[in-house]
Structure 1
Amino acid sequence: MHIFFDTEFTQLSHEAKLISVGMVSEHGGEFYAELADTWRLDDCSDFVKNDVLLHLEGGSAMLTKAELCLHLGNWLESFEVPVYLVTDAPTWDWPWLDYIFDEDHLLPANLERSPVLFTPSEEELETLHQQEQFRHHHALDDARALRLAWLNHSRVD
């Protein structure tokens, strides 16, 4: 099972803090959460303040880190087969899994331990965002766009 994922975080630095995570299975099942207890507005770069935070949903999407670990772990384990996480930015997105799952201690058993890199062109992703009216810099919508690009490439290959 391929699951496409994206994260949003406070800044592009080693001091970044996780804001949100979005995942979409190849069959269309979705998971989205925003962290309620890991970051503050003061932690955010101007870019994040202007381009990420305005897309946050709040409400039922808000979870503590402990709740995220539990709910995301259960969601991933529900697939039962090996799960391969697909990202276009493994350097930025993949380390957050160690953070969420306490550095391997709580990783779901069916989760493969390295990401699948898929890098569609920026033009392709922009077209998908426009066609589907996806929000830019929203973890779930960016994961949705990545999934659609993957499916488009799968049809061509």
Structure 2
Amino acid sequence: MMRIFFDTEFTELGIDPQLISIGLVAEDGERTFYAELSDTYEDRQCSDFVREAVLPQLEGGDARMTFRELAERLAAWLAAFNGPVKLACDSLAWDWPWIQELFGELDTWPANVDGKPLLLTMNYLNNYDPFVETVEQAFRTLRRHHSLDDAKASRLGWIAAGGDIDWRTP
């Protein structure tokens, strides 16, 4: 089963956050997906932290799309993987609901995507300390709070931790 690491950025850690961007990287490190939303938020809705740390890193251009376009493109990107896919994130509370909402927009779940994510915490990794250390080291060259770079850092941490517990068993 291919693991795909993902991260999201959103307007605030509050009652009604809005999605700003999403980044995904496959376990092999070769395939990535990145999108920024053009129709879900306005800058004034963002917390001060988001205005300072997230918005300046947005790339614009071809990465910008509507929520519906994102849902369609992401579903197609995931469907292109030959075989089952398991999504992995570091926050079920903040990241996973966006996946559910995106596929809810299409009114269908991609057939090859496992409906239960891998949570990147010490309960699911073989060795948590190398995960944390490697993620921190990755931000020496990657942009912290850029959804694609955050996903890449999580992937590197997962590799350093020896993968998830199920990955080690046949």
TM (normalized to structure 1)?
0.92
Gaps of 5+ in 2: 122-127
Amino acid at match of 2:138: L
- How many percent of aligned residue pairs carry the same amino acid? 47
What amino acid maps onto 2:147 in structure 1?
A
How far the C-alpha of 1:100 sits from its partner, in A, is 1.1
> What does residue 23 of structure 1 align with?
24
Report the Cα offset of residue 136 of structure 1: 0.6
1:93-139 deviations in Å (ceiling 9; x for gaps): 00001221126822211111111011355443211111xx1001000
Q: One-letter code of the match for 2:161?
A: H
Q: Root-mean-square deviation (CA), in Å?
A: 1.6
Which of the residues 107, 114, 117 maps onto 1:115?
117
With a CA cutoff of 8 Å and minimum separation of 6, indicate the structure with the bigger relative contact order: 1
Q: Which residue number corresponds to residue 150 of structure 1?
A: 158
- Give me the whole-angstrom Cα distance separating, in 1, the residues matched to 2:102 and 2:71: 6
After superposition, residues 38-77 of structure 1 pair within 5 angstroms as: 38-77=40-79
The size of the alignment, in residue pairs, is 154
Q: What TM-score, normalized to structure 2?
A: 0.85
Tell me, in whole angstroms, the C-alpha distance in 2 between the residues paired with 1:51 and 1:45.
10
Note if contact 1:84-1:111 (Cα within 8 Å) is conserved in structure 2. Answer: yes
CA deviation vs aligned residue, 1:21-51 (integer Å, no higher than 9, x gap): 0000001210000001111111100000011
| Corresponding position of 2:83 | 81
- Amino acid in structure 2 at the alignment position of 1:77: A
